[in-house]
C-alpha cells in the first residue's frame, strides 16, 4: 500500500467519524427538543412520592413476575435501589445489569447516552462500563494479565488439587479474529491496529512505498 493510499484511508476514517459525530449531535438535539416539549420536572416532594409509589408497587411487581430470578424483577429492584442512594457513586450495580448495559452501548452508544440522560431510568455511567469492558489492557501476543486470570480461575475450580489430578488435563484454544477491517490507528500512541503484521505496514509508511 502506497503512502497516498494510506493517507486516503485515514481521510476516509476521519470523514466517517465526522459523519457519526454529526448523527450523534442530531440525535441529542432531537432528544432535547422532545424532552423540553413533553418532559415533566418533578419537585423534591413529587420525587419522594414517586419513590413511595415504587415501594408500594413492589407487591404488584412480584405478583406480575413471580420468578424472583427473572430480569424484570431484577431491573425493578435495581431501579428502586438507585433512586434511594444518596450519590450515584454509591450505587453498586448487579452484574447482569452491567452486562445488559454493555450490550446496549455496544449496539448504539448514542442511544444509550440518550436513554441515560433522559432521567426516565437510571443506568450506569459510561465510565463505569468502561472499567468493566477494559478490565485488562489488550495488546499483541501473550497477555500476562489474562494468563493470571486463567490461573486464578483454575485455582478456584480446584484444578491444582493433587487428589484429583484429572482436573489438570485441559486444552487452550487460540483463534484469529478481525478487530478492524480497514486501516485504523490509535490516536494516543499512533500505533496502527487491525493488521496481523504491524511491522510491515509501519515500514511502508516510513519508506513511503
Q: Give, for all 209 residues of the chain, the pLDDT tens digit.
A: 677 888 888 888 888 888 888 888 888 888 778 877 777 676 777 667 766 777 777 777 778 888 878 888 888 888 888 877 777 777 888 888 898 888 888 888 888 888 888 777 888 988 888 888 777 776 666 778 888 888 888 888 888 887 888 877 877 777 766 554 455 556 666 665 554 444 444 444 444 44
Q: What are phi and psi of 160, to 5 degrees?
A: -105, 15
Q: Are 183 and 174 in contact (CB under 8 A)?
A: no
Q: What are phi and psi of 63, to 5 degrees?
A: -70, -40
d(CA 32, CA 63): 36
**Coil, strand or helix at 111:** helix
> Which pLDDT score is estimated for 30?
84
Distance of alpha carbon 38 from the chain centroid: 30
Which residue is listed with cell 453498586? Answer: 92
How far CA 121 is from CA of 117, 124, 196, 201, in Å, comes to: 9, 10, 42, 46
d(CA 183, CA 192): 7
> Which pLDDT score is estimated for 202?
43
pTM for this prediction: 0.48
The set of cell numbers assigned to 24 is 450523534
Which residue is listed with cell 475450580? Answer: 157
d(CA 66, CA 78): 17
What is the CB neighbour count within 10 angstroms for residue 87? 6
Q: Are 76 and 61 in contact (CB under 8 A)?
A: yes
User: Measured in Å, how far apart are the chain's first and last C-alpha atoms?
Assistant: 7
Q: Which residues contact 101 (CB under 8 A, 6 or more apart)?
A: 93, 112, 123, 124, 129
Amino acid at each position: 500500500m502506497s503512502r497516498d493510499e494510506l493517507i486516503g484511508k485515514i481521510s476516509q476514517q476521519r470523514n466517517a467519524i465526522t459523519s457519526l459525530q454529526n448523527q450523534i449531535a442530531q440525535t441529542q438535539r432531537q432528544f432535547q427538543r422532545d424532552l423540553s416539549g413533553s418532559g415533566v420536572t418533578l419537585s423534591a416532594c413529587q420525587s419522594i412520592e414517586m419513590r413511595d409509589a415504587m415501594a408500594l408497587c413492589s407487591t404488584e411487581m412480584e405478583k406480575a413476575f413471580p420468578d424472583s430470578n427473572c430480569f424484570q424483577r431484577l431491573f425493578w429492584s435495581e431501579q428502586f435501589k438507585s433512586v434511594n442512594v444518596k450519590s450515584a457513586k454509591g450505587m453498586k450495580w448487579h452484574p447482569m445489569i452491567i452486562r445488559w448495559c454493555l450490550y446496549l452501548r455496544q449496539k448504539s452508544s448514542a442511544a444509550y447516552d440518550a436513554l441515560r440522560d433522559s432521567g426516565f431510568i437510571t443506568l450506569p455511567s459510561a465510565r463505569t462500563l468502561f472499567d468493566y469492558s477494559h478490565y485488562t489492557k489488550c495488546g499483541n501476543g501473550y497477555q500476562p494479565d489474562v494468563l493470571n486470570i486463567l490461573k486464578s480461575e483454575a485455582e478456584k475450580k480446584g484444578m491444582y488439587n493433587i487428589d484429583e489430578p484429572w482436573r489438570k488435563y485441559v486444552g487452550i484454544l487460540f483463534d484469529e479474529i478481525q478487530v478492524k477491517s480497514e486501516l485504523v490507528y490509535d490516536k494516543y500512541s499512533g500505533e496502527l491496529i487491525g493488521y496481523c503484521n504491524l511491522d510491515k505496514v509501519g515500514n511502508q509508511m516510513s519508506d513511503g512505498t
